[in-house]
Amino acid sequence: MERMPAWADALLVPLISLAVAFAISSGVILAIGENPWEALKIMVTGALGSSYGWGYTLYYATNFIFTGLAVAVAFHASLFNIGGEGQATLGGLGVALACLFVPWPHWSLALIGAAAMGAAFGAAWAAVPAWLQARRGSHIVITTIMFNFIAASLLNYVLVNVLRPTGSMDPATARFPGATSLPGIGDMLTAVGIPFAKTTPANVTLFIALGACFLVWALIWRTRLGYEIRAFGKSEKAAVYAGISPVRITMLAMLISGALAGLMAINNVMGEAERLVLNSVEGAGFIGIAVALMGRSHPFGVLLAALLFGFLYQGGAELALWTSIPRELITVIQALVILFTGALDNMVRQPVEALFLRARKGAK
Amino acid sequence: MAERQAQGRPEAAALPPAIELRGISKAFGPVQANGDISVRVARGTIHGIVGENGAGKSTLMSILYGFYRADAGEILIGGRPTPIPDSQSAIRAGIGMVFQHFKLVPNFTVLENVVLGAEEGALLRPSLARARRELTRLAEDYELDVDPDALVEDLSVGHQQRVEILKALYRQADILILDEPTGVLTPAEADHLFRILKGLKAQGKTIVLITHKLREIMEITDEVSVMRRGEMVATVRTEATSPEALAELMVGRKVLLRVDKAPAAPGRTVLEIEDLRVRDGHGVERLKGVSLTLRAGEILGIAGVAGNGQSELLELLGGIAQGTGRVRLNGTELDLSGRGCNGRARRAAGIAHVPEDRQHLGMILDFAAWENVAFGYQDAPEYRAGRFFMDNDALRAECEGKMARFDVRPPLPALAGKNFSGGNQQKLIVAREIERNPDLLLIGQPTRGVDIGAIEFIHKQIVALRDAGKAILLVSVELDEIMSLSDRIAVMFDGRIMGLRDPARTDERELGLMMAGMDGTRGAA
Ligand SMILES: Nc1ncnc2c1ncn2[C@@H]1O[C@H](COP(=O)(O)OP(=O)(O)OP(=O)(O)O)[C@@H](O)[C@H]1O
Ligand SMILES: [Mg+2]
């Protein structure tokens, strides 16, 4: 079939999906007797109206960039990695070990070491499902989901029985040493003369996330490995003809995917909490799926979608704070956005496409 | 535009034509696929459409079937202007289409496939029962017999095609469009198809047949339209024309309809195959001990009805499938079942492979042409920039060069593989493989779905490679092609080599017998 222009496909369709999701959310808010317009205003001012709000929005967005990229890379190999949650959990463990047991002289070295550990742990957690898929044909969707549960239990065990400081009641590690504390965005911007709230969790990891977007873009569209990943993702049979090993590509794509998910931990564990707690990932692994879907598996699309979800998270938190709209409803709004931008994508796409073709015909 | 519109059968002359297209135009971005096309197809006739690859035949029929919308022009069905914005409208207007790539659900039965999308009411049962009665009737009327309860995936290609035809007839099609229906059929299946088409015509149905085989046009059509580069250059009565004249109209120059080659000068042995065996996924032995040798400067043609092990032979040699036995290339043993059995290792050893299934093996349809140029050779140093990166600029330049040398149309490296017509896809793949200058070229169905101008060109390239002292293993279900290209012919039947023949000392009859599993007796080479 014919297609609409690329810009409409990449921007217009998600924006309309978003509008529909917001429209339905408004209906729900109206139904519980609140004013949707006020609610939107609170979300926007809360998330984007102050440097404090921005700090949180960017912090969440950083998480979602990593998990979104993780899903996107696997998507290109036609692998559906649902295990971002577990891989990020293990990444957190790696980061915690690096921060707790290595006497880092400076945060920059600590960042490199922790990033390497986080990525390695995330990749290792993805390696088992990848191997099972590549060698045994066990479906990666099932195994990565199972590995999410195993990761949660494993962390539980490690925190309660191994890493918990003696005498603490809290299933969490000790606070990381001060030398591993990452500079916040606020500190960095204020240092160059731009006023920015200092108490927000957004930190230097944001720049690593932006760098990761660029690197993933280069990997997918500029390298030989990216070429092989995309070829394999389009047709395994053809890839075999071309001498591309399905086992190798499945493993590599999943290792990179897991490493990206694991990298998220330098943001939430090292940058924000500065210790490892239970359930530190807080669903970011799953949001990554929506982010990758909405971003069309393109790193820059992932970046934009991550910002949107960062906004929804922070705006939603503000909403819960200032209105009687219950927290659960905010989850509903987020779910609607996921539903319309991800799952129901075609519902919006087809009418838009038809409209375009008609308009184009009319113009001739 | 020279349009000579002939009349159909005398009694049909008074009636409005079944199909009339007026001034149809269609562009895909920069490509003018159809430009101001007008044609009439008389009711109750078989109308052929011929033209080079990319001439716009499929596009025109896709417009008629509502798959694409024309930029300009008008469609009249039975004399009445009929806008066809989508396939439903086409079906309502009584048009059915059999695509070259079937659109069946493999794990549904024949009956379910026929009913799919034409169910009546909420319950399936009445529709199925009605369809069953209807299928029995159609089977009797038109030799269209298929087992209604068989799963489509278990059917041969020929039978699957019948299901497509049945689907159209079940939806009360009066007009049936077939796009290259014989490309995938064995000669016997093609004959059967033509009997079906003649039966349909006798019942007053109108048939439009796209094909590259002029023999088929001469045999079965009443009228034939010739397209060239998006335009309709002529419509003539079939009786009043000849294959040579049609070929010239299509290509715009005289075309050699046979291969022009000097006798082979075979050199050293390049390939030695001993006792090759391959089992498929169900454990059934598909190659049952094949032994062959192939020398430099020689074309060995493998004749056989599709499905007798030729594909397995190519895939094993190409490193796609695994098997047992011994294969030596230039004296070096090839790995047939271990880690060294893959396409990468085979290419490194000097084997190039033009696969039979160009769309699913030979290229990535979603990749741009320039990306497909590297397909299989993504490791080649000249396509790389440093250890990790691809040299995309070099690839684009290489693609432009190949497009110019092999006359690929349109010459747009950025166009996705799927947007090239079948013949041009094939030219891209042949260019990619032949220009690697391999010691051994494996080439399967080199000219399936390829127009006569391009056939001539591809055949020339194969012969040139042979004359450069390379060994060529040719697999084709087209006996003509095997007979005219090969220096030696091996006939395969049921996973075995039935015998070797010298093309100069055998004929189609003998080869046909051997292909059916009977021992040929004369002219062993
Ligand atoms: N979706 C598309 N986008 C861009 N170009 C297209 C598209 N479909 C077809 N084309 C181009 O339009 C031209 C006509 O293609 P078409 O498939 O109609 O040719 P054809 O006559 O059927 O050729 P063949 O004999 O090889 O099947 C070709 O140049 C082709 O590359
Ligand atoms: Mg075609």
* Structure confidence at residue A362 as a pLDDT band (50, 70, 90): low
pLDDT at A361: 60
Which pair of structure tokens corresponds to residue B383? 């396509």
Ligand 1 atom 30: residue of nearest CA: B420
| Peptide bond before residue B81 is cis, with ω within 30 degrees of 0 | no
CA count, 13 A, side-chain hemisphere, B306: 20
Rg (CA), chain A: 21
Q: Which of A299, A325, A330 shows the shortest CA–CA distance to A314?
A: A330
User: Cα of B63 to ligand 1 centre, how many Å?
Assistant: 12
pLDDT at B389: 95
User: Which stretch of A343-357, B20-34, B217-231 has the lowest confidence by average pLDDT?
Assistant: A343-357
* Domain boundary, last residue among B139, B171, B203: B171
* Structure confidence at residue B146 as a pLDDT band (50, 70, 90): confident
Q: Which of B314, B317, B308, B315 shows the shortest CA–CA distance to B285?
A: B308
Q: Tell me the average pLDDT across B275-297.
A: 92
User: Cα of B101 to ligand 1 centre, how many Å?
Assistant: 15
Q: How far apart are CA B328 and CA A141, in angstroms?
A: 42
B242 lies in a domain? no
Higher pLDDT, A72 or A171: A72
Q: Tell me the average pLDDT across B440-451.
A: 90
Ligand 1 atom closest to the Cα of residue B52 is 25
Residue A69 has pLDDT above 80, yes or no: yes
Q: Which of A224, A241, A357 sits opposite B390 (nearest CB)?
A: A224
B324 shares contact with chain A (CB less than 8 Å): no
pLDDT at A236: 94
Q: Which of A222, A235, A244 sits opposite B360 (nearest CB)?
A: A235
Report the percentage of chain B scoring pLDDT > 70.
96
Q: Tell me the average pLDDT across A322-343.
A: 79
Report the percentage of chain B scoring pLDDT > 90.
62
Q: How far is CA B295 from CA B270, B292, B343, B439, B479, in A?
A: 5, 10, 22, 10, 22
Q: Tell me the average pLDDT across A333-349.
A: 77
User: Which stretch of A349-363, B36-50, B103-117, B205-219 has the lowest confidence by average pLDDT?
Assistant: A349-363
Q: Are strands B223-228 and B46-51 parallel, antiparallel or unpaired?
A: parallel
Mean of the per-residue pLDDT values of chain B: 89
Q: Yes or no: say if B392 and B382 are a contact pair by the CB < 8 Å rule.
A: no
B184 lies in a domain? no
B404 lies in a domain? no
* Structure confidence at residue B6 as a pLDDT band (50, 70, 90): very low
**Tens of pLDDT along B367-378?**
999 999 999 999
Q: How far is CA B366 from CA A232, A297, B343, B369, B404, in A?
A: 12, 16, 21, 9, 22
Q: How far is CA A84 from CA A74, A121, A302, in A?
A: 11, 12, 15
Same domain, B276 and B146: no
Ligand 1 atom 24: residue of nearest CA: B53
pLDDT at A363: 56
Mean of the per-residue pLDDT values of chain A: 90
pLDDT at B5: 46
pLDDT at B8: 43
Mutate to test the interface with B, among A224, A234, A240, A364 (most CBs of B within 10 A): A224
Q: Tell me the average pLDDT across B284-311.
A: 92
B287 lies in a domain? yes
Q: Tell me the average pLDDT across A112-129.
A: 97
Q: Tell me the average pLDDT across A261-277.
A: 94
Residue A7 has pLDDT above 80, yes or no: no
CA dihedral A121, A123, A124, A125 (to 10 degrees): 90
* Structure confidence at residue B7 as a pLDDT band (50, 70, 90): very low
User: Is B426's C-beta closer than 6 angstroms to any atom of ligand 1?
Assistant: no
* Structure confidence at residue B153 as a pLDDT band (50, 70, 90): confident
Mutate-to-test residue for ligand 1 from B365, B421, B447, highest number of ligand atoms within 8 A of CB: B421
CA dihedral B491, B497, B498, B502 (to 10 degrees): 50
pLDDT at B14: 65
Residue A295 has pLDDT above 50, yes or no: yes
Q: Which of B69, B347, B355 sits opposite A243 (nearest CB)?
A: B347
Q: How far apart are CA A266 and CA A181, in angstroms?
A: 10
Mutate to test the interface with B, among A2, A78, A227, A353 (most CBs of B within 10 A): A227
pLDDT at A28: 87
pLDDT at A107: 93
pLDDT at B3: 42
Q: Tell me the average pLDDT across B60-81.
A: 94
Q: How far apart are CA B330 and CA B468, in angstroms?
A: 16
Please work out, in degrees rounded to the nearest 5, the angle formed at the alpha carbon of residue B233 by the alpha carbons of B232 and B238.
100
Mutate-to-test residue for ligand 1 from B25, B28, B457, highest number of ligand atoms within 8 A of CB: B28
Burial of B344 (0-12, 13-18, 19+ CB in 10 A): middle
pLDDT at A111: 95
B353 shares contact with chain A (CB less than 8 Å): yes
pLDDT at A338: 78
Residue B1 has pLDDT above 70, yes or no: no
Q: Domains of chain A: which residue ranges?
A: 65-299
Surrounding residues of ion ligand 2, Cβ less than 5 A: B 58
Q: Tell me the average pLDDT across B142-164.
A: 85
pLDDT at B259: 78
Per DSSP, the residues of A150-179 read HHHHHHHHIIIIIISPTT--SSBPPPPPGG
Q: Which of B250, B217, B181, B212 shows the shortest CA–CA distance to B46?
A: B217
CA dihedral B146, B144, B91, B13 (to 10 degrees): 180
B477 lies in a domain? yes
Q: How far is CA B345 from CA B113, B379, B451, in A?
A: 42, 11, 33
Helix (H) or strand (E) holding B25: strand B19-28
Ligand 1 atom closest to the Cα of residue B59 is 18
**Tens of pLDDT along A229-248?**
999 999 999 999 999 999 99
Ligand 1 atom closest to the Cα of residue B68 is 1
* Structure confidence at residue B521 as a pLDDT band (50, 70, 90): low
What ipTM, to 2 d.p.? 0.86
* Structure confidence at residue A33 as a pLDDT band (50, 70, 90): confident
Higher pLDDT, B350 or A13: B350
Structural domain span for residue B159: 106-171
Q: How far apart are CA A217 and CA B42, in angstroms?
A: 56
**Tens of pLDDT along B373-428?**
999 999 999 999 988 999 999 999 999 999 999 999 899 999 999 999 888 999 99
Report the percentage of chain A scoring pLDDT > 90.
59
Q: Tell me the average pLDDT across A41-65.
A: 93
Q: Which of A122, A119, A173, A114 shows the shortest CA–CA distance to A147?
A: A122
Q: Which residues of A touch B345 (CB under 8 A)?
A: 243
pLDDT at A294: 84
**Tens of pLDDT along B454-489?**
888 899 999 999 999 999 999 998 888 999 999 999
Residue B11 has pLDDT above 60, yes or no: no
pLDDT at B239: 95
Looking at the CA of B179, name the nearest ligand. Answer: 2
* Structure confidence at residue B525 as a pLDDT band (50, 70, 90): very low
B261 lies in a domain? no
Q: Tell me the average pLDDT across B178-185.
A: 84
Q: Tell me the average pLDDT across B313-324.
A: 94
Residue B12 has pLDDT above 50, yes or no: no
Q: Please give the tally of structural domains in chain B.
A: 2
pLDDT at B523: 45
B131 lies in a domain? yes
At residue A66, what is the residue type?
F
CATH code for position B297: 3.40.50.300
